[in-house]
Amino acid sequence: MRIYVAESYENMSRKAANILSAQVILNPNSVLGLATGSTPIGMYKQLVSWYNKGDLDFSQVKSVNLDEYVGLSPDHDQSYRYFMQKNLFDHVNIDPANTNVPDGLAADPDEACRRYNQIIRDLGGIDIQVLGMGHNGHIGFNEPDDAFELETHVVDLQESTIEANARFFASKDEVPRRAITMGIKNIMQARQILVLVSGEGKADIVKAAFTGPVTPRVPASILQLHPNVALVGDKAALSKL
Protein backbone atom coordinates (compact mmCIF):
# COMPACT_ATOMS: atom_id res chain seq x y z
CA MET A 1 0.00 0.00 0.00
CA ARG A 2 1.22 3.49 -0.82
CA ILE A 3 0.26 6.17 1.70
CA TYR A 4 0.03 9.80 0.64
CA VAL A 5 -0.17 12.24 3.54
CA ALA A 6 -1.72 15.58 2.66
CA GLU A 7 -1.54 18.81 4.63
CA SER A 8 -5.20 19.63 4.18
CA TYR A 9 -8.47 18.50 2.61
CA GLU A 10 -7.67 20.60 -0.49
CA ASN A 11 -4.25 19.02 -0.80
CA MET A 12 -5.72 15.53 -0.33
CA SER A 13 -8.28 16.26 -3.05
CA ARG A 14 -5.57 17.42 -5.46
CA LYS A 15 -3.37 14.37 -4.81
CA ALA A 16 -6.33 12.05 -5.39
CA ALA A 17 -7.32 13.94 -8.55
CA ASN A 18 -3.74 13.60 -9.79
CA ILE A 19 -3.87 9.82 -9.39
CA LEU A 20 -7.23 9.56 -11.16
CA SER A 21 -6.11 11.93 -13.95
CA ALA A 22 -2.94 9.94 -14.51
CA GLN A 23 -5.13 6.89 -15.06
CA VAL A 24 -7.35 8.73 -17.57
CA ILE A 25 -4.41 10.28 -19.42
CA LEU A 26 -2.49 7.01 -19.65
CA ASN A 27 -5.60 5.05 -20.63
CA PRO A 28 -8.35 7.24 -22.13
CA ASN A 29 -10.66 4.17 -22.18
CA SER A 30 -10.38 3.64 -18.44
CA VAL A 31 -13.16 2.15 -16.37
CA LEU A 32 -13.41 4.33 -13.27
CA GLY A 33 -15.10 2.98 -10.16
CA LEU A 34 -16.54 6.02 -8.43
CA ALA A 35 -17.75 6.87 -4.94
CA THR A 36 -20.04 9.50 -3.49
CA GLY A 37 -20.06 10.97 0.05
CA SER A 38 -18.47 14.15 1.31
CA THR A 39 -14.83 13.05 1.07
CA PRO A 40 -14.39 12.91 -2.75
CA ILE A 41 -16.24 16.16 -3.51
CA GLY A 42 -12.99 18.18 -3.60
CA MET A 43 -11.39 15.62 -5.91
CA TYR A 44 -14.30 15.87 -8.37
CA LYS A 45 -14.08 19.67 -8.23
CA GLN A 46 -10.40 19.49 -9.08
CA LEU A 47 -11.04 17.11 -11.99
CA VAL A 48 -13.71 19.46 -13.38
CA SER A 49 -11.28 22.37 -13.09
CA TRP A 50 -8.55 20.50 -15.00
CA TYR A 51 -11.14 19.42 -17.59
CA ASN A 52 -12.11 23.08 -18.07
CA LYS A 53 -8.46 23.94 -18.65
CA GLY A 54 -8.33 21.32 -21.39
CA ASP A 55 -6.09 18.92 -19.48
CA LEU A 56 -8.53 16.01 -19.29
CA ASP A 57 -10.74 14.21 -21.77
CA PHE A 58 -13.50 11.91 -20.52
CA SER A 59 -14.98 11.13 -23.93
CA GLN A 60 -13.86 7.49 -23.86
CA VAL A 61 -14.06 6.96 -20.10
CA LYS A 62 -16.56 4.54 -18.58
CA SER A 63 -17.71 4.67 -14.99
CA VAL A 64 -19.38 2.39 -12.49
CA ASN A 65 -20.48 3.74 -9.14
CA LEU A 66 -20.26 1.79 -5.93
CA ASP A 67 -23.78 2.13 -4.65
CA GLU A 68 -27.24 3.70 -4.65
CA TYR A 69 -30.08 4.00 -2.16
CA VAL A 70 -33.09 1.75 -2.80
CA GLY A 71 -36.19 3.85 -3.43
CA LEU A 72 -34.57 7.12 -4.54
CA SER A 73 -35.07 8.26 -8.11
CA PRO A 74 -32.14 9.61 -10.16
CA ASP A 75 -33.47 13.15 -9.76
CA HIS A 76 -33.87 12.95 -5.97
CA ASP A 77 -31.26 15.35 -4.63
CA GLN A 78 -29.89 12.72 -2.23
CA SER A 79 -29.64 9.91 -4.76
CA TYR A 80 -26.12 8.94 -5.70
CA ARG A 81 -26.96 9.30 -9.41
CA TYR A 82 -27.92 12.93 -8.72
CA PHE A 83 -24.70 13.42 -6.73
CA MET A 84 -22.59 12.16 -9.63
CA GLN A 85 -24.40 14.34 -12.16
CA LYS A 86 -23.96 17.47 -10.03
CA ASN A 87 -20.38 16.84 -8.92
CA LEU A 88 -18.87 15.42 -12.10
CA PHE A 89 -20.88 14.09 -15.03
CA ASP A 90 -22.76 17.33 -15.87
CA HIS A 91 -19.46 19.23 -16.05
CA VAL A 92 -17.25 17.01 -18.20
CA ASN A 93 -17.53 15.33 -21.60
CA ILE A 94 -18.26 11.82 -20.32
CA ASP A 95 -20.88 10.07 -22.47
CA PRO A 96 -23.99 9.61 -20.25
CA ALA A 97 -24.41 6.16 -21.79
CA ASN A 98 -21.01 5.22 -20.34
CA THR A 99 -21.95 6.07 -16.76
CA ASN A 100 -23.41 3.41 -14.49
CA VAL A 101 -25.02 3.73 -11.07
CA PRO A 102 -27.09 0.90 -9.54
CA ASP A 103 -30.82 1.27 -10.23
CA GLY A 104 -32.41 2.33 -6.94
CA LEU A 105 -35.90 2.15 -8.43
CA ALA A 106 -35.66 -1.36 -9.91
CA ALA A 107 -38.88 -3.32 -9.36
CA ASP A 108 -36.65 -6.32 -8.62
CA PRO A 109 -33.54 -5.06 -6.78
CA ASP A 110 -31.91 -8.53 -6.77
CA GLU A 111 -32.21 -8.67 -10.54
CA ALA A 112 -30.74 -5.13 -10.69
CA CYS A 113 -27.76 -6.45 -8.68
CA ARG A 114 -27.21 -9.31 -11.13
CA ARG A 115 -27.39 -6.86 -14.04
CA TYR A 116 -24.85 -4.62 -12.33
CA ASN A 117 -22.37 -7.48 -11.89
CA GLN A 118 -22.78 -8.22 -15.58
CA ILE A 119 -22.16 -4.57 -16.50
CA ILE A 120 -18.88 -4.64 -14.56
CA ARG A 121 -17.87 -7.91 -16.24
CA ASP A 122 -18.81 -6.62 -19.71
CA LEU A 123 -16.64 -3.55 -19.13
CA GLY A 124 -13.71 -5.86 -18.45
CA GLY A 125 -13.50 -4.96 -14.77
CA ILE A 126 -12.57 -1.72 -13.03
CA ASP A 127 -9.21 -0.02 -13.64
CA ILE A 128 -9.28 2.17 -10.55
CA GLN A 129 -11.84 2.13 -7.76
CA VAL A 130 -12.29 5.24 -5.62
CA LEU A 131 -13.38 4.52 -2.05
CA GLY A 132 -14.29 6.53 1.01
CA MET A 133 -14.61 4.83 4.36
CA GLY A 134 -17.48 4.87 6.84
CA HIS A 135 -16.81 5.40 10.54
CA ASN A 136 -17.71 1.73 11.03
CA GLY A 137 -15.25 0.64 8.34
CA HIS A 138 -17.78 0.19 5.57
CA ILE A 139 -16.69 0.49 1.95
CA GLY A 140 -19.43 1.06 -0.55
CA PHE A 141 -22.34 0.03 1.66
CA ASN A 142 -20.66 -3.19 2.77
CA GLU A 143 -21.47 -2.91 6.46
CA PRO A 144 -19.69 -4.80 9.28
CA ASP A 145 -20.98 -8.38 9.24
CA ASP A 146 -20.05 -12.01 9.91
CA ALA A 147 -18.88 -12.59 6.35
CA PHE A 148 -17.79 -10.55 3.33
CA GLU A 149 -20.54 -10.24 0.70
CA LEU A 150 -18.93 -10.94 -2.62
CA GLU A 151 -20.87 -9.30 -5.41
CA THR A 152 -23.44 -6.55 -5.87
CA HIS A 153 -26.25 -7.03 -3.36
CA VAL A 154 -29.06 -5.31 -1.49
CA VAL A 155 -28.06 -4.30 2.01
CA ASP A 156 -29.93 -3.15 5.10
CA LEU A 157 -28.12 -0.04 6.29
CA GLN A 158 -26.91 -0.04 9.86
CA GLU A 159 -28.25 2.44 12.38
CA SER A 160 -24.83 4.17 12.56
CA THR A 161 -24.80 4.66 8.77
CA ILE A 162 -28.37 5.98 8.76
CA GLU A 163 -27.39 8.42 11.51
CA ALA A 164 -24.20 9.48 9.70
CA ASN A 165 -26.15 10.14 6.50
CA ALA A 166 -29.13 11.84 8.18
CA ARG A 167 -27.26 15.16 7.85
CA PHE A 168 -28.04 15.14 4.14
CA PHE A 169 -31.81 14.62 4.60
CA ALA A 170 -34.52 16.77 6.16
CA SER A 171 -34.80 14.21 8.97
CA LYS A 172 -33.43 10.80 9.93
CA ASP A 173 -36.77 9.23 8.99
CA GLU A 174 -36.20 10.17 5.37
CA VAL A 175 -32.92 8.26 5.06
CA PRO A 176 -33.58 5.12 3.00
CA ARG A 177 -33.13 1.89 4.97
CA ARG A 178 -31.72 -0.14 2.10
CA ALA A 179 -29.15 0.29 -0.61
CA ILE A 180 -27.65 -1.58 -3.53
CA THR A 181 -23.89 -1.87 -3.27
CA MET A 182 -21.05 -3.52 -5.11
CA GLY A 183 -19.69 -6.37 -3.03
CA ILE A 184 -16.20 -6.92 -1.69
CA LYS A 185 -15.22 -9.13 -4.62
CA ASN A 186 -16.27 -6.46 -7.15
CA ILE A 187 -14.12 -3.96 -5.27
CA MET A 188 -11.14 -6.28 -4.74
CA GLN A 189 -11.07 -7.20 -8.43
CA ALA A 190 -10.39 -3.57 -9.37
CA ARG A 191 -6.86 -3.31 -10.70
CA GLN A 192 -6.12 -0.31 -8.49
CA ILE A 193 -7.81 1.12 -5.40
CA LEU A 194 -7.74 4.77 -4.36
CA VAL A 195 -8.94 5.29 -0.78
CA LEU A 196 -9.69 8.82 0.42
CA VAL A 197 -9.95 9.72 4.09
CA SER A 198 -10.28 13.08 5.71
CA GLY A 199 -10.67 14.45 9.21
CA GLU A 200 -9.84 13.40 12.75
CA GLY A 201 -13.11 11.49 13.00
CA LYS A 202 -11.74 8.84 10.62
CA ALA A 203 -8.40 8.34 12.42
CA ASP A 204 -9.50 5.37 14.59
CA ILE A 205 -11.16 3.45 11.78
CA VAL A 206 -8.22 4.09 9.43
CA LYS A 207 -5.93 2.60 12.06
CA ALA A 208 -8.22 -0.41 12.63
CA ALA A 209 -8.64 -1.03 8.89
CA PHE A 210 -5.00 -0.84 7.89
CA THR A 211 -3.14 -2.09 10.97
CA GLY A 212 -5.71 -4.40 12.61
CA PRO A 213 -6.82 -7.91 11.67
CA VAL A 214 -8.53 -8.54 8.33
CA THR A 215 -12.14 -9.15 9.32
CA PRO A 216 -15.62 -8.62 7.88
CA ARG A 217 -16.33 -6.72 11.12
CA VAL A 218 -14.15 -3.97 9.59
CA PRO A 219 -14.92 -4.35 5.87
CA ALA A 220 -12.16 -1.95 4.75
CA SER A 221 -9.56 -4.21 6.39
CA ILE A 222 -9.81 -6.50 3.34
CA LEU A 223 -7.92 -3.82 1.42
CA GLN A 224 -4.76 -4.98 3.21
CA LEU A 225 -4.88 -7.97 0.84
CA HIS A 226 -5.11 -5.89 -2.35
CA PRO A 227 -1.79 -5.54 -4.22
CA ASN A 228 -2.31 -2.00 -5.50
CA VAL A 229 -3.84 0.41 -2.99
CA ALA A 230 -3.16 4.13 -2.72
CA LEU A 231 -4.38 5.61 0.58
CA VAL A 232 -4.64 9.38 0.35
CA GLY A 233 -5.57 11.23 3.49
CA ASP A 234 -5.10 14.44 5.34
CA LYS A 235 -2.86 14.49 8.40
CA ALA A 236 -5.79 14.28 10.81
CA ALA A 237 -7.24 11.10 9.28
CA LEU A 238 -3.81 9.43 9.05
CA SER A 239 -2.62 10.60 12.49
CA LYS A 240 -2.98 7.18 14.17
CA LEU A 241 -1.28 5.06 11.52
**What is the binding site for ligand F6R (CB under 6 A)?**
35-39, 66-67, 80, 132-134, 138-141
Relative to beta strand 67-69, strand 99-100 is unpaired
In the residue annotation, 117 being an active-site residue is answered as no
The Cα–Cα gap between 182 and 99 comes to: 15
Residue in 68, 103, 127, 143 annotated catalytic: 143
Q: Between residues 35 and 238, which has the closer beta carbon with respect to ligand F6R?
A: 35
Residue in 65, 136, 165, 186 annotated catalytic: 136
Least CB distance from residue 145 to ligand F6R, whole Å? 14
Sequence-distant (≥ 6) Cβ neighbours of residue 61 within 8 angstroms: 24, 28, 29, 30, 31, 32, 94, 98
| 180 closest CA partner among 221, 141, 220 | 141
Q: Between residues 109 and 140, which has the closer beta carbon with respect to ligand F6R?
A: 140
Least CB distance from residue 182 to ligand F6R, whole Å? 9
Residue nearest ligand F6R by beta-carbon distance = 132
Least CB distance from residue 38 to ligand F6R, whole Å? 4
In the residue annotation, 65 being an active-site residue is answered as no
Residue in 67, 68, 103, 127 annotated catalytic: 67
Radius of gyration (C-alpha) of the chain in whole angstroms? 17
Residue pair 196/132 in contact (Cβ under 8 Å)? The answer is yes
CA angle 158, 163, 164 (to 5 degrees): 100
Q: Between residues 57 and 204, which has the closer beta carbon with respect to ligand F6R?
A: 204
Least CB distance from residue 125 to ligand F6R, whole Å? 19
* Start-end of H helices in 138-233: 159-165, 184-188, 203-211
* Start-end of H helices in the chain: 9-26, 41-52, 80-87, 109-122, 159-165, 184-188, 203-211, 235-238
Least CB distance from residue 37 to ligand F6R, whole Å? 3
In the residue annotation, 151 being an active-site residue is answered as no
Q: Between residues 60 and 217, which has the closer beta carbon with respect to ligand F6R?
A: 217
Q: Between residues 60 and 215, which has the closer beta carbon with respect to ligand F6R?
A: 215
Relative to beta strand 31-34, strand 62-65 is parallel
In the residue annotation, 67 being an active-site residue is answered as yes
So which residues are the catalytic ones? 67, 136, 138, 143
